[in-house]
Amino acid sequence: MRELENRVALVTGGGSGIGRAIAQRFAAQGAQVLIVGRKEGPLQETAAADEKISYVVGDVTKTETIEQLIAAVQERYKGRLDILVNNAGWCPVQPITELTIQDYDKAFSLDVRALVEVTIHALPLIRACKGTILNLSSVGATHRAPNLSMYVGAKAAVENFTRVWAMELARDGVRVNAIAPGAIRTNIWNVTDLSPEAAKAHEEGIAAGIPFGRFGRPEEVANLAAFLVSDEASYVSGAIFAVDGAQGAS
Ligand code: NAD
């Protein structure tokens, strides 16, 4: 399975969870993969799996990091960029009664603003390769839940960006899709602002609503990501795909 041979991919937030699984899966299928995250240790761990994975340490909410990423693509891959995966994300878990404007700023600066800015900077390279963009949404964008207003609002924006960009870029041969995962077992579940007891109750409540009766694995998202960025998905664009154990089926 070397469908991504000779492709170059940029995956934001590749140091853990879904981003790590996607980066390692793409590399296993032959791609050169550049990942970015704020801490070197997790990036090193991802890259240790495959010599085709390299990294840049930085915060994608900062323009200077995005410029470093594009410079790294120029230097390491002669400016070739076939695949952009906008994966880095954060999920504040707060009812509006407790939410601060800092929660809003943090969620929207990463989940929305950084996704837009990375895309704007990467687009000239992606268009030159007739490449593809894959955004990470969430089942929450269409199946809302209490305490997640900032997150589901941000992901609803991501889904609409995906559809509009797909229309705008179709004649350039650039496909744009999104994956909307359900509950996937990653660090995102460990970094909420809730107390441990409230976080456990929140998690159990979500698991109870999943027809499969379990959380998903990052690799189960990476499997679909690898298909969507490959030539096998050559007529697939502007679409949002669930990987959610039927959570969003109702
Ligand atoms: P995760 O916390 O393991 O991964 C998020 C990654 O983004 C981390 O590696 C983190 O270091 C990185 N990151 C955060 N802020 C950053 C910044 N400013 N600059 C650079 N990197 C940054 O969680 P995950 O579950 O793997 O999340 C990946 C994507 O999947 C996110 O967009 C998330 O919203 C989405 N998602 C996850 C779930 C789930 O249940 N895990 C469900 C729906 C959607």
Cβ neighbours of 30 (radius 10 Å): 14
Kindly name the residue from 77, 104, 151, 235 that is annotated as catalytic: 151
Whole-number Å distance, alpha carbon 19 to ligand 1 midpoint, is 7
- The predicted pLDDT at position 27 comes to 98
Active site residue 235: no
| Per-residue pLDDT band at 202 (split at 50, 70, 90) | confident
Q: Is the CB of 216 under 6 A from ligand 1?
A: no
The per-residue pLDDT of the chain, averaged, comes to 95
User: What is the C-alpha end-to-end distance of the chain, expressed in Å?
Assistant: 34
The Cα 41–Cα 139 span in angstroms is: 30
pLDDT of 193 > 80? The answer is: no
- Give the mean model confidence (pLDDT) for residues 35-54: 98
Whole-number Å distance, alpha carbon 171 to ligand 1 midpoint, is 31
Determine the atom of ligand 1 nearest the C-alpha atom of 216. 40
- Give the mean model confidence (pLDDT) for residues 68-77: 98
pLDDT of 191 > 80? The answer is: no
- Give the mean model confidence (pLDDT) for residues 242-247: 97
- The predicted pLDDT at position 188 comes to 87
> What tens digit of pLDDT does each residue of 89-146 get?
999 989 999 999 999 999 999 999 999 999 999 999 999 999 999 999 999 999 998 9
- Give the mean model confidence (pLDDT) for residues 207-229: 96
Q: Ligand 1 test: best mutation among 186, 203, 210, 214, most atoms within 8 Å of CB?
A: 186
Neighbour-count burial of 218, counting CB atoms closer than 10 A to its CB (0-12 exposed, 13-18 middle, 19+ buried) = buried
The Cα 55–Cα 86 span in angstroms is: 15
CA 139 to chain centre: 13
- Give the mean model confidence (pLDDT) for residues 200-215: 87
Q: Is the CB of 92 under 6 A from ligand 1?
A: no
Using a pLDDT cut of 90, give the percent of the chain over it. 88
**DSSP annotation string for 157-202:** HHHHHHHHHHHHHGGGT-EEEEEEE-SB-SGGGT--SS-HHHHHHH
- The predicted pLDDT at position 147 comes to 92
